[in-house]
């Protein structure tokens, strides 16, 4: 009889544990739990998987302004060029205008000459940098949050709620993303109002997407028409309120002296070709971020919802799952997802959903200019958002300026 007692106790404990996973008692606002019969996290109401007692037990504790994080960084961090932001901590290479960082042995910010703590190559690399006056301070976090909110409000071309019906289906944990298992039988996009794509910036953006071959190591050869399409896109976005906000802000910060100087720099940093593999000029920031590439048998880049929708519609993208759904109740929103692109897997791919091309182009450009190689902490509709960018470290344009290697959303809790 005594031998049965431990078994009975274990069985009772197991039943109690299982019962706990059918209730939100002591589980309010916990992380998503795949083993639970129902959920008690902050987004369960959106996914329709809350426990029956969620509203009674958890609704008072919920803070609508605190979005849940996704902490899994994308594989671009692993693919980033050696040294990431700069080749040595004692150099200003790719560090011009960066914010003061007390952990660095020398500095490259606007006020380092005043404090006598500049790196030795500061004057050569940064002192006469085109379009930037070192009488101004580096862009602060508060300034970044303010301008990002202005850009958010200015995005009049974004999708409205009725324009997109998403079917996000199965949410998984970050560790499960490595499994490469298709947990979503249906496409991500149930409906998209394609009238959006007739708007000038959308149309100009879509024209660019078929200009590239996705495999790295194969040179890109752009003809007159493709180059004209780049100019058409830049002209279209510069005519929007979104880019006018960004242009005005950066000129106020003394980063550019004219709109034309800003446009020229955007064209170089986004569309300038460089070599990710072999010696061919096989890549650009725009191709990587918005169109997507294949490198070493994996999808890299591919951070755009329009591209995703169009490839999914053609049967080339298979949506597998997602690990994060942003806190926004309107567009643009953020989704971090897993998918297969015509035979190649993307473990974590973040993308704005429902945003206009100019909105994404502006935020990524802002963060690359203000925080190259670092987390860029923004604010959208009162919610925090962080974007990571990396400069390409192996080649430059102009006076030592860097091309964009990648840009993507990494978190909304920074």
For the question of residue 303 being annotated catalytic, the response is yes
Contact 262, 248 (CB under 8 A): no
Q: Residue 281 to residues 216, 220, 407: CA-CA distances in angstroms?
A: 9, 6, 19
**Rounded to a whole number, what is the largest CA-CA distance in the chain?**
88
Report the C-alpha gap between 92 and 104 in whole angstroms. 11
Of the chain, the end-to-end C-alpha distance in Å amounts to 57
What is the spatial distance between Cα 220 and Cα 223, in angstroms, rounded to a whole number? 10
CA–CA dist 287, 292 (Å, integer): 6
**What single-letter DSSP state applies at residue 332?**
S
How many whole angstroms separate alpha carbon 384 and alpha carbon 94? 26
The one catalytic residue in 295, 303, 374, 402 is 303
Kindly write down the DSSP assignment for every residue of 273-329, as one continuous string.
Answer: -B-SSTTS--B-HHIIIII-EEETTEEE---BHHHHHHHHHTT-EEEEEEEEE-S-S
Catalytic residue among 97, 107, 295, 346: 346
Annotated active-site residue in 97, 107, 158, 288: 288
Burial label, 218 (beta-carbon count in 10 A; 0-12, 13-18, 19+): middle
Is position 346 annotated as part of the catalytic site? yes
Prior bond of 290 cis (ω within 30°): no
Angle 357-370/241-252 helices, nearest 10 degrees?
10
Give CA–CA dist 77/286, Å, rounded.
17
CA atoms within 13 A on the CB side of 175: 3
Token pair recorded at residue 313: 């519609």
Identify the DSSP state of 140. P
Whether 129 sits among the annotated catalytic residues: the reply is: no
- List, by residue number, the catalytic residues: 288, 303, 346
């Amino acid at each position: 009889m005594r031998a049965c007692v431990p078994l009975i106790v274990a069985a009772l404990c197991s039943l109690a544990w299982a019962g706990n996973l059918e209730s939100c008692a002591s589980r309010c606002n916990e992380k998503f739990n795949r083993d639970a019969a129902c959920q008690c996290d902050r987004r369960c109401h959106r996914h329709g998987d809350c426990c029956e007692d969620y509203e009674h037990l958890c609704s008072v504790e919920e803070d609508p302004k605190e979005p849940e994080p996704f902490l899994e960084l994308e594989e671009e961090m692993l693919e980033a060029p050696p040294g990431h932001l700069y080749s040595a901590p004692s150099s200003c290479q790719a560090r011009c205008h960066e914010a003061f960082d007390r952990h660095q042995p020398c500095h490259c910010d606007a006020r380092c000459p005043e404090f006598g703590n500049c790196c030795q190559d500061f004057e050569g690399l940064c002192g006469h940098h085109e379009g930037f006056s070192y009488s101004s301070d580096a862009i602060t976090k508060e300034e970044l949050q303010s301008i990002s909110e202005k850009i958010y409000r200015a995005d009049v071309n974004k999708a409205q709620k009725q324009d997109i019906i998403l079917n996000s289906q199965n949410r998984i944990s970050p560790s499960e993303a490595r499994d490469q298992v298709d947990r979503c039988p249906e496409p991500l996009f149930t409906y998209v109002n394609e009238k959006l794509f007739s708007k000038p910036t959308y149309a100009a953006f879509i024209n660019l997407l078929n200009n590239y071959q996705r495999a790295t190591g194969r040179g890109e050869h752009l003809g007159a028409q493709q180059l004209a399409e780049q100019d058409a896109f830049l002209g279209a976005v510069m005519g929007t309120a979104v880019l006018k906000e960004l242009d005005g802000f950066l000129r106020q910060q003394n980063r550019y002296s004219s709109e034309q100087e800003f446009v020229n720099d955007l064209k170089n940093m986004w569309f300038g070709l460089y070599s990710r593999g072999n010696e061919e000029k096989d890549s650009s920031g725009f191709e990587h971020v918005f169109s997507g590439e294949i490198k070493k048998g994996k999808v890299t880049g591919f951070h755009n919802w329009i591209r995703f929708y169009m490839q999914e519609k053609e049967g080339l993208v298979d949506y597998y799952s997602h690990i994060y759904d942003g806190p926004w109740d309107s567009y643009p929103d953020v989704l971090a997802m897993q998918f297969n692109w015509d035979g190649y897997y993307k473990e974590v791919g973040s993308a704005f959903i429902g945003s206009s091309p100019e909105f994404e182009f502006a935020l990524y450009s802002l963060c690359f200019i203000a925080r190259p190689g670092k987390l860029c902490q923004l604010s959208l509709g009162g919610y925090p958002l962080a974007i990571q960018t990396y400069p390409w470290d192996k080649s430059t344009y102009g006076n030592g300026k860097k091309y964009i290697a990648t840009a993507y959303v990494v978190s909304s809790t920074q």
